Amino acid sequence: MNSRASTSKTVTLAFTGASGMPYGMRLLELLLAAGTRVYLMYSQAAQIVAHQEMELVLPSRAREAEELLRRRFSTEQGQLRVFGREDWLAPVASGSNPADAMVVCPCTMGTLAAIAAGMSQKLIERSADVMLKENRKLILVPRETPFSAIHLENMLKLARSGAIILPPNPGFYHHPRDIHGMVDFVVARILDHVGVAHTLMPRWGEESTVD
């Protein structure tokens, strides 16, 4: 992993209650491995999904979660900060201290709708609102199928407002051998948009160096 391009970068990452927690956890792992500072938040529903999909217990208290994840990914002190759902003193709550980018992965349709409507009742929604108003990069990874007309209209509204809608649709031209390869395909696309270097897979037109 080449971390030079992302050493001073700060990325806000939010997990919500859609299926797809392996995408979010893998993204967190690689952001930290690249030396990126990460501000992490997650909803109560995301805690349920993490346990169901990964048998991972995410603590409700931010400090406990921070310590657990810091040990899990062997990060330096201060590189990862976890904030509670209503921690309005968190840096992500103000346009005076925005991150370089924010990713909501996975993103529920409820969270997407709240962001599209400008409703900032929780810190995740407020953080996304800050990114839009400050013209910073906001990436939403909606995991739902099929999409209703309401879902599509909300996504179009957000895209027109500057957000990037990045559904977790893995490609197969790199011949993934297992589910990890499919997850990495999606995470690689997110990292590209965030501007964090990676070597997860060869790019289109490049020969694979992976055995």
Structure tokens at 58: 């995410």
Helical segments of the chain, H only: 21-33, 44-54, 62-73, 109-116, 123-133, 149-160, 179-194
Closest CA to 158 of 173, 143, 138: 138
Q: For the stretch 161-193, what's the b/e string if a residue is b when 16 or more beta carbons lie within 10 angstroms of its beta carbon?
A: eebbbbebebeeebebeeeebbbbbbbbbbbee
- Binding-site sequence positions for FMN: 17-19, 43, 108-111, 143
Computed over its alpha carbons, how large is the radius of gyration of the chain? Answer: 16
Whether omega for the bond prior to residue 168 falls within 30 degrees of 0, making it cis, is no
- Binding-site sequence positions for dimethylallyl phosphate: 173, 189
- Binding-site sequence positions: 17-19, 43, 108-111, 143, 173, 189
Given a contact cutoff of 8 angstroms between Cβ atoms, the answer to whether 103 and 196 are in contact is no
Calculate ∠ Cα 58-131-112, nearest 5°.
60
